[in-house]
Structure 1
Amino acid sequence: MSDSSDFYSLNVNTLKDPVLKKLSEVLDKTNNKGWRKLGEIVANDRRFRVSMEEMEKCSLKVLELEGSPSRSLLRLIGDRGCSVKDLVEFLQTMGHAEALQCIKPPAIKIIIQPQSQAVLSGHTVRLGCHAAGHPNIQYQWFKIKEEVPNGNSPDLVFSPVRVGDTGFYICRVNCGGSFEFSQWAQLEVYDMAATYGSACYSLDGKFKIVIQPQPQRLMIGDTLELECAAVGKPIPQYQWYRNGVPLRDANKKRCTIPYVRLEHQGKYRCEVFSHEEHLWTHEADIVIGPRISCTISEATECSEEDIYAFGHSDFENSRNKSPEKAYATDKVALLIGNMSYQNHPKLKAPMVDVYDLTNLLRQLNFKVVSLLDLTESEMRNAVDEFLLLLDKGVYGLLYYAGHGYENYGNSFMVPVDAPNPYRSANCLCVQSILKLMQEKETGLNVFLLDMCRKRNIHDDIIPNVEALRVTANIVFGYATCQDAEAFELNSSGFTNGVFIKFLKKRLLEDEKITVLLDRVAEDMGRFDPTKGKQALEIRSSLSEKRALTDPIQPRGCSDETMARNLQWAKAHELPESMCLYFDCGVQIKMGFAAEFSNVLVIYTSIVRKPEDMSSCQAYVTNFTPELDVDPKEMNKGTPEETGSYLLSKSLPQHCLYTRLSSLQKLKEQLAFTVCLQGKFTSVEDLVDWSTEVNIGKPLIAKLDLHRTMRRNSCLQTCLIPHSPSHSPCQSPGVEHYYHQCYPQQYQSSYLGVYDPAHAPQGTCGSTCDSDSLDFGACSNLPPYHQDNPTLAVSTNRVNIPIETTDDINELQTSFIDSLQLHDRY
């Protein structure tokens, strides 16, 4: 509509579905300003008189799935010619301000968005933002969160552009009381004086490489730093290659390898691309040479008698001999993130922390089981299954994010159903889990505990934990010091906790695990919001140079190895995608994806419909009550609307999405109904069809973690209080457990969309004092989609820009660094 008068003359039924849906939700509320009051006012208007019988029919809509009395009433008066103007007058009579907010003229429409670009200093550069739809439009440009002086025109011109103009820009378009933000645009400016003598004088939009990577000769242990840069519009993307093979996670202008070895030698070059354009840099020869002298990386303490008993010459030889590369017989990780506590403050960061850590560990060839929101019995069962995956030489990693505490040197993880107050009998003792892991003769035991370590004043019981065996290769990474709190960042979207924020930047480094954690501790020490409040603590009995990047060398195809692979694969089987055919000629495709080991996403789309069918829609319903699925969160147009913010970029578009969490609670096979609703051109009424679908037990549901009786599958019989094998509140039970071999075609990649062609390789609540950025006032904004930089702003938002692109790390960091903090206790 070109102006508001055209908008108000529209028929009510021509309003867009999101507007009608929001308006209906507001009017459906049972109060003195609800739909019944609207019906009384409309009944007094002779043009749209509504009878009592019609009002009763509207009220019966509550009995239907997603039925709405308000929507029925609006459709009724719309059929009788009610315009938007008439409806506004009725709502004004009611004094319903919230409903009136739902009906407004169309928002400002930005038709030209600013584009990111990389340019050379000294040229003239223009960022443009143009809007249409309203007169008297005003513009205001921002750089990061600061207004650009004199930046109140549609075009932001830099003449000439300087290196200091590098940054991120966004334009706010205002008209009266409404406003809209443009997309973010990144401007990179290069000074040719620092580009190794390269030259480029044309800015016609095509890509041109201005910085080439340089050949280098390095020694083992040195840091390799390669750099390239290009100008172009839109801003270029990068991918580094070595000997023609793409390097993992090397997609920035700079490629850094902190500790080079002989295998890093080769020819490096970078591909610069955007859409269909791409260029290649020159090849840079990287030569790696050995160091002349050898140093001892680990100090050794031995008595004189020990030296001679061992053999003096052998001891000297061992000191000068380079250590052999360590290896694992397998790598297994259990990640638990507890957020939705029933009796304690809820947390936000564990979901993102577990998701990011899962993806990184999978790149290191770990078998990962990632779980959200577990009760006590579910946590104990999950640890039992984790122990089944361990064996001699296996690297085992346990990560926990949630509420926790520490008493008498023992760490306790708090389940989501823990009472208030909780005690050790309600929690899991980490040291008891370590005891059981030691008995598996694992090659490396890593515990990453992202929780508070304050003393629990309600728990005076001294745990009766058996003494741990004297074994090496145990590493504890505590997110905070003893008797201190761990924090997560209080932001409007989903962000990491402080520990994972820095750990994920280092986790893929080929370093001894303790060296890696030391670097994380240093990074955290430079983080101002938590300086003096949270510091990483490392405890280690590591006697070898063990790293998470160590290669896997299986001990052979033993029965234990096969059982371990089958057990892991069984917990990550996705149902096969399927096509459903209805008698009316409609074909529906249904697919499945795993966001976590206990979170499943179902997506449906209509792939074929008869020509004489004017419209049709398919949706899923009637899930088992065990999963506690909210019907209002099902069959959404975007994954984000279902709560699936992390997996959205991996899902196909133009589908309806439903997210099923807490699959560990599923006791029977997962069955549900697929409904189809269509309308033929020759028939006015809607026609419904339905069919039943059974997908068995997907993902972690196969392991029956919901069982309260202990399966005791690791066959541990030692009476350790709070151990996974014995709960203080439950009697241990023993039951035979049989592994089942599933066909290869049913095994699927984890954290992805099911593809039959790809099988797996292996068979605290209170707010802490902190200066907060004004942007924190926008906490009511919905989280953003990583692939969509356009910010959808609600009517009650704050009139300041909010950054929403996932790849703008510098800008995101500047926001996060001054956000409020929440503790985990």
Structure 2
Amino acid sequence: MLRFPLPPVPSDASLPIERLNPGIHQQLCSWLDREGRSWELLDFAMAKVNPGGFITHQRNCTSAELFSKFSRLNCTIGILAYFLESCHMYEPLYLLKDRVPVEIVNQLPQESLVKINTTVKLGCEVTGFPKPTFQWFLNDTPMSSDGATLNPLVIPNFSYSDVGLYKCEITQRCRDGSFQTISTIPSRVILENCAPFVVMEPQNCRIEAGESLELKCRIEGNPIPDFQWYKDDFPLYKEVSCSLQISSTMLHHSGLYRCLARNSEGKTLTREAFVEVKPPQTTLYHPGVFTDYSPRHSASMKQALLIGNWTYDSQGLRKVRADVKTLHDILYKMDFEVISLCNLGKVEILNAADRLCELLLPGAYVVVYFAGHGIHYFFDYLMPVDVKMDSDYSVRDLVDGNEIISRIQQKNPKLLVVLLDMCRTIPQQRVNPRITAELPHQVPRDSRTNLVMAWATAENSNAFEMGYEQNGIFMTYLKKEMEQRNILVTDMLERLKRHSKLEIPIEARDQMPVTFSSLAEPLSLDDPIDDSLVGGSLWNDCQMLAKSWLELPKKQIATVHINCNTVFIYVNFGLMDDCFSNGLKIELTVEGYEMITFKPFIYPSTLEILEVKHELDLRKCTITIHKLQTVKEDASIFLQVVECPNEQIVVHLGQPLIAKARLSTNSL
């Protein structure tokens, strides 16, 4: 007689199958014959009777033959129920066994603390007949992974995306075809804090110049780490994600790359990945002044200073801000280290030129751009924002553009490109008799070598901002030409003049760009940096000085209490427009309350709030401040919460960004 561990069955489980109710016997046979599964039940039974023995699969076995065989084996009703359940034949099993409602014996833990990148198991103990089905949910969303319908749920390589509230819905089918569903209590699974660790290293690669480069790494940790890529142990500007991408490589991109990840628990470094950029098999030539151009020239370094002035006391300018941003992004893609500043006074402009000179090595490629108001008489005079335009200002109140050129050329640059996007008119005598009397006494100076200049307009002419383009007229056409890669700088400016003449709007026909060049060599802004100089002590000193001007305040979190609610305010910082080093973008994100309006105040008073923008849902606010170059002590911004006047938040800025350069120090 067969004897097996039996599941709960009716009270007549010990009776032989010959004593089975005739009606039930008939229904069992009908189901087995209809489904053709008698042979499966017989195979399972024979495997239990003769473990390890040879089984002859009788696929043409009928239910009558099956019950005849079971009768000879002295099979009981209980054993038949066991066979049916083991073979997952629940429909006929219902004829022998009553439904036992599903019940959760052991619930999920309310909270689990797990380690990142480990295997996590979540399960609950469930009883009931027939066996229920399972569906796991993460944050009330059905999971679709392979194990989402199993109990327990197994999550390999647990990561940030797996953190949240888990629950399991357990569904049991009833005899009448309906379903009963119950759910576990939610279980919160969170990560333990841990220092970053490397999961995937960046790989070595060899590519040709002009091809794209992508280096990837995977570093886990909790809190989520901050990233910084290094080339030859020098930090790369703005490369702060787990992936480094260069759309068009050049020879100087060869080197050893690695990524640093850090959080509050510690830091780690990937291994070094060697990148070799080989010269292309063919060399492109561009027609122009120098027809023999090939990329055989290189720079000791590539540095740019961009100044945009638009907040004058009268006659403010609308498109200067966008013009500087456009040129900043173009030069950055050409591997220039770019310093962009806005709304500077005279002392600050001259000090910015001196700070630029401190960063330069002999043989550098340098670009200087000024956008704002200006005048011209023999030479160009840049107008600082601290000039009262409607007053009798003097030449001494302006910045002599030639003086900036002179200071930079003392550092022996290989290429100096000066772009002046301003008017070049002379104030009428009735408007400013003082300056018209001073200008004729200015002493002309000799031109210098290795200099390329472009003016937005000719002498005694205006420069316009009209048009529907994002940029002013000069930058609109300059952008088109600078985006042509591997073109001589002289060719680029000649094309600028030609296209402007053909395409400039009729309202601005008086504006016509003018260029000048004293270059003796065919040079391009795309020329590479000399690898033999990169990484030297002087080169590193210059680079680290520039980086110190771009340091942002650390992220901050503040809490306020409004209507018995604890409200979290997350404060993040960035460069104004992602380019201006003397402007700060402060992003406030609200969590825990629907609508909050901020009224900011700034300290010290030399700083200015340029704009305050609240999102439509009043959960995010962006505050832009500028004139950070004036900061001589730790700065702060005070935020009054309009919805709760008694609450005030203090955001400490310290002395961020270009404040370290001391541009406002009067050293004249």
What's the TM-score, normalizing by structure 1?
0.42
1:500 positional shift: 0.3
Show the counterpart of 1:330. 301
Where do residues 351-750 of structure 1 align in structure 2 (5 Å cutoff)? 351-408=321-378, 410-419=379-388, 420-456=391-427, 458-459=435-436, 460-462=438-440, 467-468=445-446, 471=449, 473-489=450-466, 495-509=470-484, 510-530=486-506, 532-553=509-530, 555-581=533-559, 585-595=566-576, 596-607=580-591, 609=592, 617=596, 619=598, 621-624=600-603, 626-627=605-606, 629=608, 633-634=611-612, 636-637=614-615, 654-674=619-639, 688-707=646-665, 709-710=666-667, 732=668
Which secondary structure does the structure 1 equivalent of 2:522 belong to? coil
Unaligned runs of 5+ in 1: 1-244, 250-259, 264-286, 300-320, 640-652, 679-685, 711-731, 733-825
1:327 positional shift: 1.0
Which secondary structure does the structure 2 equivalent of 1:489 belong to? coil
Shift of the 688–549 alpha-carbon distance from structure 1 to 2, 3 Å rule, reads same
Which secondary structure does the structure 2 equivalent of 1:336 belong to? strand
1:328 positional shift: 1.1
Show the counterpart of 1:255. none
1:399 positional shift: 0.6
Q: 2:353–2:407: 8 Å Cα contact kept in structure 1? A: no
Q: 1:590–1:602: 8 Å Cα contact kept in structure 2? A: yes
Where do residues 109-124 of structure 1 align in structure 2 (5 Å cutoff)? none
1:557 positional shift: 3.4
Shift of the 465–329 alpha-carbon distance from structure 1 to 2, 3 Å rule, reads farther
The one-character-per-residue Cα deviations of 1:227-276 (angstroms, maximum 9, x if unpaired) are: xxxxxxxxxxxxxxxxxx99949xxxxxxxxxx99x9xxxxxxxxxxxxx
CA distance in 2, matches of 1:563, 1:464: 38
* Larger RCO (alpha carbons 8 Å, 6+ apart): 1
Shift of the 375–581 alpha-carbon distance from structure 1 to 2, 3 Å rule, reads same
1:438 positional shift: 1.5
Q: 2:556–2:571: 8 Å Cα contact kept in structure 1? A: yes
CA distance in 1, matches of 2:394, 2:537: 40
Shift of the 429–638 alpha-carbon distance from structure 1 to 2, 3 Å rule, reads farther
Which secondary structure does the structure 2 equivalent of 1:328 belong to? coil
Unaligned runs of 5+ in 2: 1-243, 254-279, 429-434
What's the TM-score, normalizing by structure 2?
0.51
Shift of the 448–522 alpha-carbon distance from structure 1 to 2, 3 Å rule, reads same
Mean Cα displacement is larger for which, 560-569 or 688-697? Answer: 688-697
Which has more strand, going by share of residues?
Answer: 2
Shift of the 479–616 alpha-carbon distance from structure 1 to 2, 3 Å rule, reads closer
Shift of the 669–322 alpha-carbon distance from structure 1 to 2, 3 Å rule, reads closer
The one-character-per-residue Cα deviations of 1:125-182 (angstroms, maximum 9, x if unpaired) are: xxxxxxxxxxxxxxxxxxxxxxxxxxxxxxxxxxxxxxxxxxxxxxxxxxxxxxxxxx
Given residue 570 of structure 2, which amino acid in structure 1 is its aligned partner? K
Given residue 482 of structure 1, which amino acid in structure 2 is its aligned partner? E
The one-character-per-residue Cα deviations of 1:548-577 (angstroms, maximum 9, x if unpaired) are: 111112524344322321221122112222
The one-character-per-residue Cα deviations of 1:570-624 (angstroms, maximum 9, x if unpaired) are: 22112222223458643321111212222211111123x4xxxx75637363321
Mean Cα displacement is larger for which, 357-366 or 686-695? Answer: 686-695
Mean Cα displacement is larger for which, 552-561 or 399-408? Answer: 552-561
Where do residues 124-139 of structure 1 align in structure 2 (5 Å cutoff)? none
Given residue 537 of structure 1, which amino acid in structure 2 is its aligned partner? V
Shift of the 297–467 alpha-carbon distance from structure 1 to 2, 3 Å rule, reads closer
Q: 1:399–1:447: 8 Å Cα contact kept in structure 2? A: yes
Which secondary structure does the structure 2 equivalent of 1:553 belong to? coil
Which secondary structure does the structure 2 equivalent of 1:706 belong to? coil
Shift of the 422–483 alpha-carbon distance from structure 1 to 2, 3 Å rule, reads same
1:431 positional shift: 1.4
Given residue 562 of structure 1, which amino acid in structure 2 is its aligned partner? N
Which secondary structure does the structure 1 equivalent of 2:496 belong to? helix
CA distance in 1, matches of 2:494, 2:405: 22
1:362 positional shift: 0.9
The one-character-per-residue Cα deviations of 1:291-322 (angstroms, maximum 9, x if unpaired) are: 9x9999649xxxxxxxxxxxxxxxxxxxxx98
The one-character-per-residue Cα deviations of 1:389-410 (angstroms, maximum 9, x if unpaired) are: 22201111111111112212x1
Which secondary structure does the structure 2 equivalent of 1:569 belong to? helix
The one-character-per-residue Cα deviations of 1:720-764 (angstroms, maximum 9, x if unpaired) are: xxxxxxxxxxxx3xxxxxxxxxxxxxxxxxxxxxxxxxxxxxxxx
Q: How many residues align?
A: 382
1:665 positional shift: 2.6
1:474 positional shift: 0.8
Q: 2:595–2:619: 8 Å Cα contact kept in structure 1? A: no
Larger radius of gyration: 2
Given residue 317 of structure 2, which amino acid in structure 1 is its aligned partner? L
Q: 1:331–1:367: 8 Å Cα contact kept in structure 2? A: yes
Q: 2:629–2:659: 8 Å Cα contact kept in structure 1? A: yes
Shift of the 514–638 alpha-carbon distance from structure 1 to 2, 3 Å rule, reads farther
Q: 1:474–1:540: 8 Å Cα contact kept in structure 2? A: yes
Which secondary structure does the structure 1 equivalent of 2:483 belong to? coil
Q: 1:627–1:660: 8 Å Cα contact kept in structure 2? A: no
Q: 1:593–1:600: 8 Å Cα contact kept in structure 2? A: yes
Which secondary structure does the structure 1 equivalent of 2:538 belong to? helix
Q: 2:607–2:630: 8 Å Cα contact kept in structure 1? A: no
Between the two proteins, what is the percent identity of the paired residues? 26
Given residue 508 of structure 1, which amino acid in structure 2 is its aligned partner? E
Given residue 586 of structure 2, which amino acid in structure 1 is its aligned partner? I
Given residue 634 of structure 2, which amino acid in structure 1 is its aligned partner? Q
1:484 positional shift: 2.1
Given residue 544 of structure 2, which amino acid in structure 1 is its aligned partner? L
The one-character-per-residue Cα deviations of 1:192-214 (angstroms, maximum 9, x if unpaired) are: xxxxxxxxxxxxxxxxxxxxxxx
Q: 1:671–1:692: 8 Å Cα contact kept in structure 2? A: yes
Q: 2:609–2:625: 8 Å Cα contact kept in structure 1? A: no
Given residue 583 of structure 2, which amino acid in structure 1 is its aligned partner? V
Show the counterpart of 1:752. none
Which secondary structure does the structure 2 equivalent of 1:335 belong to? strand
CA distance in 2, matches of 1:620, 1:689: 11
Which secondary structure does the structure 1 equivalent of 2:571 belong to? strand
Given residue 417 of structure 2, which amino acid in structure 1 is its aligned partner? V
CA distance in 2, matches of 1:322, 1:358: 26
CA distance in 2, matches of 1:366, 1:324: 17
Given residue 549 of structure 1, which amino acid in structure 2 is its aligned partner? D
Which secondary structure does the structure 2 equivalent of 1:573 belong to? coil
Given residue 628 of structure 2, which amino acid in structure 1 is its aligned partner? L
Q: 2:608–2:627: 8 Å Cα contact kept in structure 1? A: no
CA distance in 1, matches of 2:318, 2:613: 24
